[in-house]
Structure 1
Amino acid sequence: NQLPDDFGEDDDIGQHTELLRSYAKSYDMKLHDFGQYINDDTNVEASIEDVLSFFVELRDFATVVEEFYTPYEWTQSERNLLNEFSSSMISWYLEATEDDPGDREYVELGEHDEDGNPTLLVDNDLRQEIEILKQLTFYYVISNPTLRGQQKGQIQVIDELFELLYDEAAPKSVDTSAILEPYRERLNDTDEDDDTARARIVADMISNMTETQAIEMYERMSGARPGSLQDTIMRQ
């Protein structure tokens, strides 16, 4: 069910509602479900038809290529195409103060408010598009059950790693612990009774790790993977 090449050129895109719905379903994009979510569960002022037509209009971006209409297979070329598309979208909205082909400014300076501060007037269509894209990320990424499960596991790893390192940071254990410099020195310079400062140092150590470093250190400290803790950190 390919859309005709001239689809969307009419001013009244609402007349193509059924074709839009058919298009979304034929590619298994579930855009209609997303549009329903926008309509029912968000404060975005956009109808299902607004959502569907927005995605159809994205076809006009120069970086939208044929591969976008096929199942995603996680290839490097597909990732490169997505990165290029993302960059073009970011540039499009960052440059929204410039005239578009229709000679219409998306963002312009408005009157000063009662406190004398300048205000911005944002085109309603532009605001709607950005809100749709924000909700798209929430709907398909942040609310994705698989991702939520992964995030829950990551939170558990960090929580348990903190407890393990906090025990290692005990005043009488620091010099023989898995705590590395410069955090060991900071702990030695900390009052033995200052549990808050000790916790902050451990938190600083974890926050400066990459995800891989944190997971590998947790695995080694919990016994899930043997090996040198210092080697794990130093080789990253």
Structure 2
Amino acid sequence: MVSRVWTDAARRKRLHSTPEKDQRKPFEVDRDRIQYSSALHRLAGVTQIVRVGEADVFHTRQQHTYKVAQVGRRLAQNCIDADPKLAKKLGVDVEVVEAACLAHDLGHPPFGHAGENKLNELLEGREDPDGFEGNAQTFRILTTLGVRYPDCLGLDLTRATLAACLKYPWTRDPTKPERSIKWGAYKVDQADFDFARRFQDHAFQTTEAALMDWADDIAYSVHDLEDFHRVGAIPWNHILNEGSQEIIRKTHEVWFGAPSDAQAHLNAAFERLASVLNSAFSVLLNTSYEGSREQRVALRSLTSFLIGRFLTAAKLTEEGNGLHIPLDTLAEVKLLKQIAKQYIISNPSLIAQQLGQKKVISELFGILWDNSEKGPPRFLPVRLRYIWDVCEGKRARFSADCIASLTEHEVVALHARLCGLSGGSVLDPIVR
């Protein structure tokens, strides 16, 4: 077991110790600060998988976030109820887990992973070794870019909540594969990272971070498939028959750090999922979805069944990050995530759309870079100008921070005006 000796006082500590006091407990304050932040509000205008505004049936990033928070809270409660002594020893607090769930996607840039990849490419091209990563941007928002108090940057959250938000508790390290693909903080934010991880003498997530991470996986694997089932985009009969081996094979290929017997677990997991779908929920497989009451009841029952199945399988442990997910359950979730990826994220129409989105981000980044040599550009919306001072003249980071602070509508509108594609109105500010 790794050492987890950090006292309640250390967990509640804030780096800036803002003097505000009210009736709430420290972790409740954290949760509420994130709930009411402009960064969370922005996620209503950010892609989950399908572009915001394309159809009301699809989740936005904000709707996904609220469902992750709900799952995370129930997950933490279930673990605490099952083993209250171990939960206390590991430092599991329901409010911290929910706060981390609400925060987990704040750094998600416009246009989803397409935007994330393009911003990373642009920053690397300007020789910024930190690059861009959505999780690291989340931490940057919480500690630096968030606006709450006049005398400090960020939201001034407790150490426990900041640590719980670190899904990947390390900075970028090109020499280690797992730390060159995903990272939880930029080196420019090292002081805040060190504060959050001061009492962690290991490279594991805190248990509260592990609970947030699993809640995200549960929500992603269930709710996105629900959306695409509604629009008829999931060919279940094909998947459960001739398409089964392809799904299993591709899931195995992308399983990072897969155990030696992963193939067997995936085969068994697929059989279990197929059995559940074919028996209890055949009404969803054998007819096209039209939104009948019977179909809606069946779909809600399926999502409730799967969430409950994945949630109750998780148990606290004294090993590793403090959370044990059975391999059989992990395999089921990975299969469901692969189905969404294979039939939706790889859709040619979506890929074509993403190429245009990357072009918008690239051109807007270039305009911000070219016009910020001596300070924030005069055309920059007032709401974003403080970012120049925060970035201390680092133009590439400034350009990325500005773009990542916008909704997709704002990015498109600002790009169109600056590129002469739409004059707009001088009386109509793009960013308020």
Q: TM-score, normalised by structure 2?
A: 0.35
Corresponding residue of 2:346: 143
Are the counterparts in 1 of residues 387 and 401 from structure 2 also a CA contact under 8 Å? no
- Greater gyration radius: 1
Say if 2:385 is the partner of 1:184: yes
1:35-74 → structure 2 map (5 Å cutoff): 35-43=244-252, 45=263, 51=270, 54-58=273-277, 64=281, 66=283, 69-72=286-289
Distance 2:313 2:316 in 1: 9
**SS, match of residue 178 in structure 1:** coil
1:75-154 → structure 2 map (5 Å cutoff): 85-86=302-303, 88-97=305-314, 109=317, 122-154=325-357
Percent sequence identity over aligned pairs: 29
Distance 1:120 1:57 in 2: 26
- By how many angstroms is 1:205 displaced? 1.4
Alignment length (residue pairs)? 187
Gaps of 5+ in 2: 1-234, 253-261
One-letter amino acid of the structure 1 residue matched with residue 309 of structure 2? W
Distance 1:201 1:158 in 2: 14
Specify whether residues 38 and 80 from structure 1 end up closer, same or farther in structure 2 by C-alpha distance, changes over 3 A only. Answer: same
**SS, match of residue 423 in structure 2:** coil
Distance 2:411 2:301 in 1: 31
Specify whether residues 190 and 168 from structure 1 end up closer, same or farther in structure 2 by C-alpha distance, changes over 3 A only. Answer: same
Are the counterparts in 2 of residues 168 and 178 from structure 1 also a CA contact under 8 Å? no
Are the counterparts in 2 of residues 38 and 48 from structure 1 also a CA contact under 8 Å? no
State the superposition RMSD in angstroms. 4.2
Render the CA deviation track for 1:127-179: whole Å, top value 9, x for unaligned. Answer: 331221122122122222222222222111111111122233343883xx320
Distance 1:203 1:185 in 2: 14
Render the CA deviation track for 1:94-142: whole Å, top value 9, x for unaligned. Answer: 1225xxxxxxxxx575xx66xxx68766544323312211221221222
Are the counterparts in 2 of residues 178 and 229 from structure 1 also a CA contact under 8 Å? no
Specify whether residues 186 and 131 from structure 1 end up closer, same or farther in structure 2 by C-alpha distance, changes over 3 A only. Answer: closer
Distance 1:83 1:131 in 2: 21
Specify whether residues 173 and 229 from structure 1 end up closer, same or farther in structure 2 by C-alpha distance, changes over 3 A only. Answer: farther
Distance 1:80 1:161 in 2: 45
Corresponding residue of 2:421: 224
**SS, match of residue 45 in structure 1:** helix
